[in-house]
Chains A and B, each alone.
Chain A
Amino acid sequence: MSDEHLVPPGARFVGTREVGTAEGFVDTPEHDLGLSSPRGKQRRSEWVQLLLEALHYRVTQVGLAMFLLIVTLVVVGPYVAPHSPFEFVTDPYAKPSAIAWLGGDCLGRDVLSRVLCGGRSVLILSFSATAIGMVLGVSTGLVAGYARTVVSEVIMRGLDVLLAFPQIVFVLLLISVLGPQRWLLVLGVGVTLAPPIGRVVYGTTMNVKEGDFVLAAESLGVSHLEIISSEILPNIVSPLMVEFGLNLTFAIGTIASLSFLGFGMQPPAPDWGLMINENRVGLVIQPYSVLVPTALIAILAIGANLVTDGVAHAMIGLERDTGSA
């Protein structure tokens, strides 16, 4: 499954659109129509505001429903599974029956039970990988965008080098040298996610930094660290949320692919990506053992991406409103 198919072309564009504009805080002196921000109304923090706004869009609602469906399945699944995922209950590739509702897999284990137990790894690993990617990307991007010196050049060219490696190849290389370990998988995927995030944050930071309020803080003698964390960071929360969602989608795809290739979870662990690989030989006789995990991965990735799409729409909407009032 290719990552690119899960991402509508608009989503990437939305994630980076702030790079070219400074509208976030530069207002025009003439604003005849006061459309938003009623005076004196206490407001919620920006990310909550953004999420609530995003919920008004149909895409977000559909995406969130898909995403929550999978999360519920993953959380509740192990408790309601009729069999142990390791137990041999049927013949290999047995048709669905009363004992195994979705039939048996290549070794005769219950497909339903393995599906119910096999989502946790994908979900946890992709969330952790995205978190690592965000931390690395955001910190390097912030520092590079704020410093605007030789340091920025070094950091950004470093990211470019990482960017030059195809994601999957980089992780494959890492794992074939150091062995298939979960922390390595997470770290590897996280590191490959970081460069694009870093670039987006770098551009956005440079823009925010142009604001006179940053200069004002500098003239008071506020430390660099505090300027970055309390003046700049709060101004890039919206694009960061979009980046997170986008990269979560990438990570889900990548982690599932790596498991499929045998570099992720190792047998006999139940894992959707691994299941697809194990059972693909019997696709014709027992399609459920391949199709169900595939569908679940797809629903998860598409759901995450739709939510991101909604958040991006909401971000543009909010920006336009505060930009003109």
Chain B
Amino acid sequence: MSRIILTVRDLEIALDPSGVEVDRDVNLELVEGEVLGLVGETASGKTTAATSLLNFQRRGAKIVGGSIRIDDRDVLALGGSQLRELRGGVISYVPQDPGSALNPALRIGPQLREVLEFHGFGNSEAERRTRIEEMMAEVLLPSTEEFLRRYPHQLSGGQQQRVVLAMAFACRPKIIVLDEPTTGLDVTTQAHVLDTIRDLVTAHRVAAVYVTHDLAVVAELTDRIAVMYAGRLVEIGPAAELFAGASHPYTRRLLQAVPVLTGRRTLEGIPGFAPRPGHRPAGCAFAPRCSYAVAKCSAEMPPEEIVGQMHRVRCWRHKEVETQAPLLAHDDDRPLESCGQEGLITVRVTAWYGSREVLHDIDITLRARECLALVGESGSGKTTLARCIAGLHRFRIEGDIAFQGKGLPRLARDRPRAIRHAIQYVFQNPYSALNPRKTIAQILSQPLRIFFDYTRDQREDRLAEVLDLVSLDDTVLSRYPDQLSGGERQRVAIARALAAEPTVLICDEVTSWLDVSVQASIIQLLVRLQTEIGLCMLFVTHNLALIRSIAYDVAVMSEGRIVEYGPTDDVLADPQVDYTRKLLADTPKIEVAQLKT
């Protein structure tokens, strides 16, 4: 039995000065060399809990109770120089965005050396130099003089994250806290970073806490998983046990939201959203969203109960929950059927970005009432292609884009009104797609005003209609975008596109900024819209696991070319080119084998 190196007891974090509770009764222990996944939706308090392991809180929050011990050190009692020694020496932290974690004005060599010098690692310049070479080799980066002299902006996102990892592992810490280190990266880079983390952790017996909202990411990496909801740990246990039959309804719902690569199943989002600090209901905070909830749930907070070896759960009805069937089975094996429609939009283009050719001889067809998925890593040209079709590409295009046989002008502005409203675009980032200074009503009326001559009453009816289509109620109309959650914002963005009554909807990585549980409900929504309204859809994504439930055809893009193009089921079952095979291998997945008890 390995030694326990980290114990967290009754940790309590509150907002300062309002005293609103953020995290409460968090109990954790970490065994040497173990990887613990800390999973939860946005606003669940997982990052707050994770940074408190380093006795750090962001502005406005404060640790108000409990204890954290690393070996025999009381972390919360440390201050000043002792704390600085602890951070980076004994326990280190890898933040979400490597771009902001590295000092943009310093070359990476000096940044790495700084960590070693500060913690007095190595006795001489030569020794530190060797250590840097070692570190860089461990994260699979070159340690040549040329590379170390680069600035952070000269590295790719994946390389930056690996430099941050090298810094975190530099002084051979005992524990490392990873805060969604792969969220901003595409699947291929994410796979590399995850491999690197796995190698480092096993090679040096470092214990790790991996914070994420995506269970699939941690499935292959972690030994145990802790699930957080509204500031409390609702379930903690061995990963295999959780995947086979979680005891908490919330864990089950999270699992149900994970898309599976190997077979099709209905993705189900969790209705509602995780309550923010200060807005949390009494009793079990999950009760309002839980299908198992009984009166007792909203009255009293359930205690932590032990249900297995190192497996604890906080639910009044966990015994009933456990008897339910495992959730990850493929429940939907019907193949998607082609509507057999002819082409609506045909695209035969070569496009430039400035003077560089970025799309080469693209030839795809969007069929009426069908969804085509466009898959590839970042930089493969998929967004450029989507924007060419939407008329948002500002540079040179050769070839033609035809809508119902008629060629389209390059820019949306030059296209006739009928075409502009027929082709609608939903942007990747819901946080920048809505004007922060406009109310939702103003945002949604814009297309109505441009395309239709509605009276005031008609317009209001139409607003209510499109909101209904995306499952929002009309209380959002008077709000501003920053008063909505990410998922709600993306729904508003989709509603704006639907308000124009489009025949073609282009969705550009519309779920990449969202939690997995929210992603599932957006996908659910798009599938429903596609079948109900009969939309023709172009679904751009880097996640192959997503497309099974939505797209009939898939086009795989690499370096500006379509490398594989065919029915989704065929492509996923039997990819013809190496690139698709590699993408498939890199996509994080929960193996169905893992699920059999």
A positions within 8 Å CB-CB of B: 24-35, 37-43, 46, 210-213, 215-222, 231, 234-235, 237, 322, 325
Contacts and interface: CB of A to CB of B under 8 A. Distances in A.
B22 A29 contact: no
Nearest to B443: A213
B390 interface: yes
Nearest to A37: B483
Contacts of A215: 392, 427
A48 to B, nearest CB: 13
Given A40-B479, A218-B413, 20 more contacts: A29-B486, A30-B42, A31-B43, A32-B48, A33-B15, A33-B277, A34-B278, A40-B483, A43-B480, A212-B429, A217-B446, A219-B425, A220-B447, A220-B500, A221-B413, A222-B450, A234-B437, A235-B436, A322-B436, A322-B482
Interface in B32-58: 42-48, 58
A317 B479 CA distance: 21
B80 to A, nearest CB: 26
Interface string B451-488: 10000000000000000000000010011101100100
B292 interface: no
Contact of A222 (B432, B446, B480, B513): B446
Interface string B257-295: 000000000000000000011110000000000000000
Contacts of B237: none
A171 to B, nearest CB: 36
B435 interface: yes
B438 A234 contact: yes
Contacts of B447: 220
B483 A26 contact: no
Given A26-B429, A32-B43, A213 B420 contact: no
B98 to A, nearest CB: 14
B340 interface: no
Interface in B406-434: 412-413, 415, 417, 420-421, 424-425, 427-429, 431-434
Contacts of B277: 32-34
B446 A46 contact: no
A216 B496 contact: yes
A225 to B, nearest CB: 13
B215 to A, nearest CB: 16
Contacts, number: 121
15 contacts: A26-B431, A27-B431, A28-B96, A28-B97, A31-B43, A33-B22, A33-B48, A33-B58, A35-B15, A37-B480, A38-B483, A46-B437, A213-B434, A235-B437, A322-B482
Interface string B159-201: 0000000000000000000001001000000000000000000
Pick from B276, B435, B438 the residue with the most CB of A within 10 Å: B435
Contact of A219 (B97, B392, B486): B392
Contact of B435 (A28, A41, A234, A322): A234
B482 A34 contact: no
Contacts of A32: 22, 42-48, 277
Contacts of B417: 221
B89 interface: no
A30 B475 CA distance: 24
A34 B279 contact: yes
**Closest 6 pairs between A and B when the two form their complex, measured CB to CB:** A34-B276, A234-B437, A27-B431, A212-B427, A212-B433, A213-B435
Nearest to B40: A32
Nearest to A236: B437
A221 B412 contact: yes
Contact of B420 (A26, A220, A234): A220
B140 interface: no
A24 B298 CA distance: 38
Interface of B: 15, 22, 42-48, 58, 60-61, 96-97, 180, 183, 276-279, 390-392, 412-413, 415, 417, 420-421, 424-425, 427-429, 431-438, 446-447, 450-451, 475, 478-480, 482-483, 486, 493, 496, 500, 513-515
A300 to B, nearest CB: 32
Contacts of B432: 25-26, 210-213
Contacts of A222: 446, 450
Contacts of B424: 219
Nearest to B514: A29
B493 to A, nearest CB: 8
Contacts of A235: 435-437
B392 A218 contact: yes
Nearest to A46: B437
A323 to B, nearest CB: 9
Most buried by A among B180, B417, B433: B433
B331 to A, nearest CB: 29
A219 B482 contact: no
Nearest to A29: B513
A210 B60 CA distance: 30
Contacts of A220: 412, 420-421, 446-447, 450-451, 500
Nearest to A34: B276
B54 to A, nearest CB: 16
B276 A30 contact: no
Contacts of A37: 480, 482-483
A39 B276 CA distance: 11
A282 B97 CA distance: 67
Contacts of A26: 429, 431-432
A221 B450 CA distance: 8
A137 to B, nearest CB: 21
B183 to A, nearest CB: 7
Contact of A27 (B279, B428, B482): B482
B501 to A, nearest CB: 13
B412 A33 contact: no
Nearest to B476: A40
Given A33-B22, A220-B450, A25 B391 contact: no
A325 B22 contact: no
